[in-house]
Amino acid sequence: MIRAIWLAMALLAAILVPLLLGGSELWGRVQRFSLPLLLGMLSMILLCWVINSLRLSLLLGRHRGQLGRWKSLAVVMSTEFAICATPGGSGGPLTLMALLARNGVRPARGSAVFAMDQLSDLLFFLCALLGILFYALFQNLSQRLEWLLILSSLSLFGGLCICLAIARYHRRLILLSGHLLAPFKVRPATCRRLARKWLHFLKAFGDSLKLPWQTLTGVFALTCLHWALRYSVLYLALRGLGVDLQWAWTFLIQMLALSAGQFSLLPGGAGAAELTSAALLAPMVGKTTAAAAILIWRAVTYYFYLLAGGPVFLLMVGRPLLRTLMKLKQA
C-alpha cells in the first residue's frame, strides 16, 4: 500500500512539472500533435520489447529453450514495468531473476544475465557519448553542455572501470567484506553463504562472457538498436511539435534526465527526469514546446510502460501469489 501511494505521488509530480512549465497553452499544443506519429512512437516501444526479448534469449545461451518466444516477451515487459514502478528501478533485477527461476534458470545465472544486459547498455552509452563528444568538437556549444557531456563520459568510463576492478579483485573484496561485517556481529556461516553466492554469480557471469563472439556481437547490436529507437522518441516528439533539434542533443538530454531520475530514487525517476529535461530543453525550444515534448516523451516511454506492462506483470508475478493465498484459505 505504501509503495502504491509512493508511486501515485511520483506520477503526480511527473505530471505537474510539464503542466506548470507549459501553462495554459500546453493542452492546445498536445491536442494538435499528430496521432499517426504518436501511434508510430508507441509501435517503436513495442518493437523495443521484442528486441529485448531477443537479447534475453541470446544471453540465456543453452538455457534459452526454457523460455518460449511469448514468455520471453512477457518476462521483458514485466521486468521493465518493475523498473518503472520501483524506486531506482530496484524491482527490475528481482523480477527478472524470480521469473527466470520459475522457468528453471538458477538465480546465479539470472543475475549474470541481468549484469550482462547492464554491461551491454553501459558500453553502448559510453560509445554513444564518445561519438557525441567528437561531434561536439565541430559545434558551438554552451559551456554548461560541454561540462555535462564531459562529466557524463567520465562517469560512464569510471563505472566501466569499477566493474572491471570488481571482477579482477573479487577475492580480495570477499575478504574485505568479511572484515567490514565483523563489527556488526554477522555470523561466519552467513558470510560464507554470501561469499558462495557471489562466487556462483561470478562463475555464471564468466560463462556469459565466454559465449560465442557472434552471440555477444548480436547482443550488442540489439542493444544499439533498442536504445536508438527508444532515444528517438523525444526527437520525434519535437519534430511533431514543429521543432528541428539535432538528434544528438535530444539523446544527451534524455540520458542526463533519466540518470538524474535514477539518482533521485523515485519510481521511474518521476519528477526528477521531468525537471532535468525541462531545465535543459526549455532554453533551446521555449517553455511551452519543452513542456509539451516532455509530456509526450514521458507518456510514451514511462506511462505506456506502466499501462501495458502492469497487466503482464500481474499475470506473470501476481497469479502465482494469488494461488498461494487461495491454498492457504482452503487449508
Q: Which three cell numbers stand for residue 188?
A: 561466519
Whole-model pTM: value is 0.83
Determine the pLDDT at residue 331: 42
- Would you say 49 and 41 are in contact if contact means Cβ atoms under 8 Å apart? no
Tens-digit pLDDT profile for the chain (331 aa)? 555 666 676 677 777 777 777 777 788 888 888 899 999 999 999 999 999 999 999 988 777 777 778 889 999 999 999 888 887 787 888 888 888 888 888 887 888 888 888 888 888 888 888 887 777 777 666 666 666 666 766 776 776 677 667 666 656 665 666 655 566 566 666 666 766 666 666 677 777 777 888 988 999 999 999 999 999 999 999 999 888 888 888 888 888 888 877 777 777 777 788 888 888 888 888 888 889 999 999 999 999 999 999 899 888 887 665 454 445 444 4
Determine the pLDDT at residue 77: 93
DSSP 302: I
Alpha carbons 99 and 107: distance in angstroms, whole number: 10
Alpha carbons 223 and 124: distance in angstroms, whole number: 7
Determine the pLDDT at residue 326: 45
Determine the pLDDT at residue 38: 94
Alpha carbons 108 and 324: distance in angstroms, whole number: 25
Determine the pLDDT at residue 171: 63
Alpha carbons 171 and 248: distance in angstroms, whole number: 41
Alpha carbons 164 and 109: distance in angstroms, whole number: 19
Alpha carbons 259 and 273: distance in angstroms, whole number: 8
CA terminus-to-terminus distance, the chain: 26
Alpha carbons 71 and 293: distance in angstroms, whole number: 34
Alpha carbons 302 and 11: distance in angstroms, whole number: 10
Q: Which three cell numbers stand for residue 311?
A: 497487466
Half-sphere exposure of 138 (CA within 13 A, CB side): 5
116 CB burial (10 A radius; 0-12, 13-18, 19+): buried
